[in-house]
């Protein structure tokens, strides 16, 4: 059973609980010899600690272990002391495939310098639903042709730098109103429409031979009315492998997401079904006992022949081939290369900034009233959210007369009287929306009240571009809030050009 357990472990990617390995985690990893470890913010203090952790993981799991991370750019970045890429939607606003490739390359250079050789990016989801709670700025836009061109350029740059790309979330998470971290979405489109929209970027990725695909925990009734894609032989085995001829690595999205745990509460059975459906690796995130149960279930299926030997060998060979193509040997990352990559990220952010409507800017001597929510938490894939106060601090260096007014997101109207009084002593009003989710009705009312105060005013949509169709006032759209974007935004509010073009369609 030990041999089958080791084989099962090779088919699994797991997470670990902390920045250092304790004895229990070391023993757990050594017992199962997992094929991959996925790193999150909880595992990272800084690049030096991360490089040591990656080296220790490879000592335990072997040089063929794939060390993975979600370093998409924008809000989804697990390590933040490397050059921070703008969000994919920001790249979409530039429309420049060459820039997309360069940004992907910069992300790859920084990751491989630490020995991280598998990036769960880019997202090839076509974001056509403004109410999508989990994709949004993680998508390059709403045009499938542009998503394909920009996403594959980004992936090419990443892989040329030595890090395997993973396009996600196959066959498409861009038109859902549910978050698969929390529930099981359904996309009920007919096959012809799926081909034109959701499928197009993924089919192109299969044709291009991108290193890996990640599955979506979504039901597509037109393809398989019974199972979500992650568990569907018709979708993984039929559509992706047979129809499209894809022979790279297929990894599941996290099996601890509620879309799967509600559908199949038995974690071990779900892992076996995902592998049987066509996945090569099961992303088994969560507590050690759950990971162990999934490993034991896979080992039992191997021993009993439920997983045919030929099928097992195919997956092991794909994983081995990926490890050979993308060895995790750290590459030197010079100070000059890093400085150039940081400059590239700021350039990309600056080129993405988008004007919506006839924008008027504050003058340096203006008394600016800066109004924003007090807190904007992260959720689901986002491990943190923007701090509008960080932007306010940066702006105060350019606009010394700036005054901030933070409102509680649950009670925006609580600051209306204060805003009205402050506006009398102000020359310009800057309303900054920071949430990833849709603006509440009360927030929209507050915004409209600010614009009705008979003062020059501007809306900054700091994360979600669809906020402009709720506020319906002149705006600057940034698609994110990492430092390079905030630096570029300060320049834009001071008069720098904003050449970005909105990469999604707005209602009305």
Residue 296 has pLDDT above 80, yes or no: yes
pLDDT in tens, 397-434: 999 999 999 998 888 988 999 999 999 999 999 999 99
Q: Is 359 exposed, middle or buried (0-12, 13-18, 19+ CB in 10 A)?
A: middle
Please count the CA atoms within 13 angstroms of the CA of 150 that sit on its side-chain side: 28
DSSP state for residue 304 in the 8-state scheme: H
Closest alpha carbon to 455 in 474, 470, 476, 434: 474
Residue 262 banded pLDDT, cuts 50, 70, 90: confident
| Rounded mean pLDDT, 264-293 | 94
Please count the CA atoms within 13 angstroms of the CA of 335 that sit on its side-chain side: 0
Residue 65 has pLDDT above 80, yes or no: yes
pLDDT in tens, 214-228: 999 999 999 999 999
Answer with the residue of higher pLDDT: 288 or 186: 288
Residue 377 banded pLDDT, cuts 50, 70, 90: low
- Contacts of residue 140, defined as CB under 8 A and 6 or more positions apart, other chains included, come to 88, 89, 91, 92, 100, 122, 123, 124, 146, 147, 150, 151, 503
Asked if residue 172 lies in contact with residue 191, where contact means CB atoms within 8 angstroms, the answer is: no
Q: Which residue has the tokens 């039901």?
A: 219
Residues above pLDDT 90, as percent of the chain: 83
Closest alpha carbon to 208 in 171, 163, 154: 154
| Rounded mean pLDDT, 287-308 | 95
What distance in Å separates the CA atoms of residue 389 and residue 199, rounded to the nearest whole number?
40
pLDDT in tens, 434-481: 988 888 899 999 999 999 998 999 999 999 999 999 999 999 999 999
Residue 257 banded pLDDT, cuts 50, 70, 90: confident
What distance in Å separates the CA atoms of residue 118 and residue 136, rounded to the nearest whole number?
23
**Can you give the pLDDT at residue 390?**
86
The residue from 70, 125, 143, 253 that is catalytic is 253
**Can you give the pLDDT at residue 379?**
54
pLDDT in tens, 314-349: 999 999 999 999 999 999 999 999 999 999 999 999
DSSP 169-219: EET--TT-SS-TTTS--B----HHHHHHTTHHHHHHHHHHT-SEEEE---B
**Can you give the pLDDT at residue 504?**
95
Quickly count helices (H) and strands (E) in the chain.
19, 16
Catalytic annotation on 427? no
- Contacts of residue 491, defined as CB under 8 A and 6 or more positions apart, other chains included, come to 350
| Rounded mean pLDDT, 372-381 | 68
**Residue 477 phi, psi dihedral angles, 5° rounding:** -110, 130
What distance in Å separates the CA atoms of residue 6 and residue 386, rounded to the nearest whole number?
42
Residue 385 has pLDDT above 70, yes or no: no
Q: Which residue has the tokens 């990617």?
A: 13
Residue 393 has pLDDT above 80, yes or no: yes
Q: Which of 40-54, 176-190, 323-337 has the lowest mean pLDDT?
A: 176-190
**Can you give the pLDDT at residue 348?**
98
What distance in Å separates the CA atoms of residue 35 and residue 223, rounded to the nearest whole number?
30
**Can you give the pLDDT at residue 410?**
85
Residue 259 banded pLDDT, cuts 50, 70, 90: confident
Closest alpha carbon to 423 in 397, 456, 395: 456
pLDDT in tens, 111-145: 999 999 999 999 999 998 888 777 889 999 999 99
Asked if residue 404 lies in contact with residue 372, where contact means CB atoms within 8 angstroms, the answer is: yes
**Residue 174 phi, psi dihedral angles, 5° rounding:** -80, -15
**Can you give the pLDDT at residue 449?**
95
Catalytic annotation on 169? no
**Can you give the pLDDT at residue 493?**
96
The residue from 181, 183, 374, 427 that is catalytic is 181
What distance in Å separates the CA atoms of residue 207 and residue 209, rounded to the nearest whole number?
5
Is the torsion defined by CA of 93, 87, 170, 35 positive or negative? positive
The C-alpha angle 188, 192, 198, rounded to 5 degrees, equals 65
Average pLDDT, whole number, for the chain? Answer: 93
Q: At 8, is the secondary structure helix, strand, or coil?
A: helix
Rg (CA), the chain: 23
**Can you give the pLDDT at residue 268?**
92
Asked if residue 222 lies in contact with residue 190, where contact means CB atoms within 8 angstroms, the answer is: yes
Is the torsion defined by CA of 295, 301, 303, 308 positive or negative? negative
Residue 508 banded pLDDT, cuts 50, 70, 90: low
What distance in Å separates the CA atoms of residue 33 and residue 292, rounded to the nearest whole number?
11
What distance in Å separates the CA atoms of residue 366 and residue 24, rounded to the nearest whole number?
59
Residue 175 banded pLDDT, cuts 50, 70, 90: confident
**Can you give the pLDDT at residue 143?**
96
| Rounded mean pLDDT, 256-277 | 87
Residues above pLDDT 70, as percent of the chain: 96
């Amino acid at each position: 059973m030990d041999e089958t357990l080791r084989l099962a472990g090779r088919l699994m990617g797991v997470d670990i609980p902390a920045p250092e390995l304790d004895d229990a985690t070391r023993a757990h990893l050594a017992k199962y010899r997992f094929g991959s470890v996925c790193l999150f913010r909880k595992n990272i203090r800084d690049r030096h600690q991360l490089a040591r952790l990656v080296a220790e993981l490879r000592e335990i799991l072997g040089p063929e272990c794939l060390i993975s991370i979600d370093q998409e750019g924008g809000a989804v970045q697990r390590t933040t002391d490397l050059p921070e890429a703008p969000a994919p939607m920001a790249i979409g606003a530039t429309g420049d495939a060459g820039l997309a490739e360069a940004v992907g390359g910069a992300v790859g250079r920084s990751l491989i310098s630490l020995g991280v050789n598998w990036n769960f990016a880019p997202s090839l989801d076509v974001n056509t639903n403004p109410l999508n709670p989990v994709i949004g700025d993680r998508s390059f836009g709403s045009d499938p042709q542009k998503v394909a061109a920009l996403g594959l350029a980004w992936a090419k740059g990443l892989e040329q730098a030595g890090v395997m790309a993973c396009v996600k979330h196959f066959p498409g998470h861009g038109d859902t109103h549910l978050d698969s971290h929390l529930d099981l979405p359904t996309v009920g489109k007919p096959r012809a429409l799926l081909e034109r929209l959701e499928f197009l970027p993924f089919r192109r990725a299969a044709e291009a031979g991108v290193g890996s695909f990640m599955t979506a925990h979504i039901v597509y009734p037109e393809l398989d009315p019974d199972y979500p894609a992650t568990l569907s032989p018709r979708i993984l085995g039929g559509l992706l492998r047979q129809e499209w001829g894809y022979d790279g690595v297929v990894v599941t999205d996290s099996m601890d997401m509620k879309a799967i745990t509600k559908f199949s509460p038995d974690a071990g059975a779900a892992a076996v079904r995902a592998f049987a459906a066509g996945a090569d690796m099961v992303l088994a995130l969560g507590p050690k006992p759950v990971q162990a149960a999934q490993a034991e279930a896979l080992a039992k299926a191997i021993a009993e022949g439920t997983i045919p030997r030929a099928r097992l060998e195919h997956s092991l060979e794909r994983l081995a081939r990926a490890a050979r193509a993308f060895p995790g040997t750290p590459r030197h990352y010079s100070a000059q290369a890093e400085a150039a990559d940081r400059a590239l990220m700021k350039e990309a952010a600056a080129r993405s900034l988008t004007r919506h409507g006839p924008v008027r800017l504050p003058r340096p001597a203006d008394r600016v009233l800066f109004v924003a929510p007090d807190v904007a938490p992260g959720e689901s894939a986002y491990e943190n959210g923007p701090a509008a106060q960080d932007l306010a601090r940066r702006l105060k260096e350019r606009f010394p007369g700036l005054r901030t007014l933070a409102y509680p997101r649950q009670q925006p109207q609580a600051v209306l009287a204060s805003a009205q009084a402050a506006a009398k002593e102000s020359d310009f009003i800057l309303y900054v929306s920071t949430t990833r989710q849709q603006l509440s009705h009360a927030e929209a009312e507050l915004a409209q009240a600010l614009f009705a105060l008979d003062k020059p005013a501007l809306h900054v949509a700091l994360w979600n571009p669809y906020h402009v169709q709720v506020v319906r006032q002149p705006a600057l759209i940034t698609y994110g809030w990492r430092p390079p974007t905030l630096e570029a935004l300060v320049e834009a509010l001071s008069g720098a050009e904003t050449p970005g073009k909105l990469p999604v369609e707005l209602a009305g």
